[in-house]
Amino acid sequence: MEKLSIIKIGGNIIEDETSLNAFLQLFSILEGKKILVHGGGKRATHIASKLGIESKMVNGRRITDAETLEVITMVYGGLVNKNVVAKLQSLNTNAIGLTGADINSIQSEKRPVKEVDFGFVGDVKKINSNGIDKLIQADFTPVFCAITHDGNGQLLNTNADTITSTIAVGMSKIYETSIYYCFELKGVLKDFNDKNSVVKVLNSKTYQELLNDHIIVDGMIPKLDNCFDALNNGVSKVHIGNTAMLTKENDNYTTITL
């Protein structure tokens, strides 16, 4: 099977022009077939507040009302996505910017209202692997923003980490798929106070040990559970680290396998 890399970047890179340019340079020279998924960062919040739209939070989580969804569609789907595409084109990467609505690539369903009504938030239901592969086969490099659709004309705000892992799982029927989650840290840390104490290899067994020893805690747990979930569903490898993990010389990041 041919290899496919799926790289996810978050707000910390998107928001800083220098970091973004440096990352896109690395991404553009990365060998083999690849897909980029980007979050949106605080730009949407900033523009929403300028437009007089209040950010509504429940239990620390953002509610996507109709007005907020419009801002997200403008900022993630337009401003961020199309500027990333234009920058990649200047680096000779033949990028194509997508939401889940384009070529029906990612269908989701509006999150059911339970205790909280999250509004126009989508939980991913189905990936159009064959459609995405048509783009890859045409030598285009898909660049996804964190927006999906429900198939009935409604766009939905969707978590970028979930989009990444679901695309990876879907594409693993066709390719040997690896995920690269780029974040602020060098990887999963043995000692949170030592930013260089990277756990280089993590598997189900060592993960359980680190959980038992309370070395992996808090927000890292759902993130890693999500990684193991992807591995259990066909993805070959998941890497976690900062953008420097895309350089060949650097091996100081976390690689997760089953």
Which residues of this chain interact with a copy of itself, rule CB under 8 A?
Answer: 47, 50-52, 70, 73-79, 81-83, 85-87, 89-90, 94-99, 101-104, 131, 134-135, 138, 140, 147, 149, 151-155
Q: Which is nearer to a copy of itself, 28 or 252 (CB)?
A: 28
Q: Taking the CB of residue 137, how many other CB atoms lie within 10 A of it?
A: 11
Q: Which is nearer to a copy of itself, 90 or 247 (CB)?
A: 90
Considering the complex, what minimum distance in angstroms separates the CB of residue 47 from a copy of itself? 7
Q: Which is nearer to a copy of itself, 21 or 233 (CB)?
A: 21
By three-state DSSP, how is residue 137 classified?
A: helix
Q: Give the N- to C-terminal CA distance of the chain in Å, as an integer.
A: 19
Considering the complex, what minimum distance in angstroms separates the CB of residue 80 from a copy of itself? 9
Q: Which is nearer to a copy of itself, 38 or 239 (CB)?
A: 38
CB 21 within 8 A of CB 50: no
Is the CA virtual torsion 250, 251, 256, 257 positive or negative? positive
By three-state DSSP, how is residue 232 classified?
A: helix
Considering the complex, what minimum distance in angstroms separates the CB of residue 175 from a copy of itself? 18
Considering the complex, what minimum distance in angstroms separates the CB of residue 136 from a copy of itself? 11
CB 242 within 8 A of CB 253: yes
Cα 103 from chain centre = 19
